[in-house]
Amino acid sequence: MNTEELKKQLNEGGKNIVIVTHKNPDGDALGSSLGLCGMLRMAGHNVNIITPNDYPSFLKWLPGEKNVLRYEWSSARCDKKIAAADMIFCLDFNDMSRIEALAEPVINASAQKILIDHHIAPTVDADYIYSDDNMIATAQMVYHFAEKMDMLDCIDRNVATCLYTGILTDSGEFAFPKTSGKTHSVVAALMDRGVDNYAVYQHIYMNFTQSRILLLGKALSNMHIIKDSAALCMTLNQDELDECGFKKGDTEGFVNYGLTIRNINVSCIFIENRSEGIIKVSLRSKGKFSVNEMSRKFFNGGGHLNAAGGQMPTTDMQSVVDIFYRAVEYYKEDILSSND
């Protein structure tokens, strides 16, 4: 399907459309999905958003959020929506494994599939693919998609607020390297549509739970700095999560704290999920060192150049920390020269 054909279908209105995004939705996943949903509804379509599971409370103020369906809570209802869809938009993921139980009904659906994503090397089989790993956020891509589809008039204050939130969070408050002049131009256009940037900031960054602050202290106290390697890792085991009263989203962004230390180029955090029998991995880097490559090689994951994740099928924290030490040794020279 080419751009003109898709534009024609979207401008006709009246389609049943489903938007899906990845497990554990973050600000970009939810912001881009809600933004696109608002645009498509304004264009006359019947639209539903389905996420694999729930997401942090600090995202539940977003306009339109109360209409999001969680597959883990209402799979039968979601299956019916997917089966009846004319179009399915896949947002902010590059592989069907990222939507877990949602993958089977989405793959088997007869609907046309449209991918909008900014991760490296997408494998999603879609009829229309808009993929650009140079973009800082899928929410920015949704704005450019609206440009391509002649749908900028469908961006009102609520849509703009959702897209702005996605860009703000995935860009590290406009600090990460792929934040471009074009990003700021899009942000300016969104603010011209009425975004209250300070209100968004308060909702996202001044709305933490007490458990988050307690867990941050634990994570920082568990820091392992690898001598002469410009790398560190932090750990949180299940007992520590339980002791602090962990809630979904509490550990979001913890991995970035490691990079605030002078001469540290790679930061990692390992978080145990005993009920699933796994340890989740988040990796961040400065400069040109690819944590995407490290994650793919050592931690069953992937992502972006400077931000990646994965998971290990174990609850033995020390064994995973040992793997990180081996990974750092393997890439030591690249890590040390990352900012050269």
Tell whether the model's pLDDT for residue 320 goes beyond 90.
Answer: yes
Q: What is the mean pLDDT of the chain?
A: 96
CATH (residue range 3-205):
3.90.1640.10
pLDDT in tens, 53-110: 999 999 999 999 999 999 999 999 999 999 999 999 999 999 999 999 999 999 999 9
**Residue limits of CATH 3.90.1640.10 in the chain:** 3-205
Q: What is the pTM of this model?
A: 0.90
Backbone angles phi, psi at 315, to 5 degrees: -115, 15
pLDDT for the residue 339: 83
pLDDT in tens, 264-290: 999 999 999 999 999 999 999 999 999
pLDDT in tens, 146-171: 999 999 999 999 999 999 999 999 99
CATH (residue range 210-336):
3.10.310.30
**Residue limits of CATH 3.10.310.30 in the chain:** 210-336
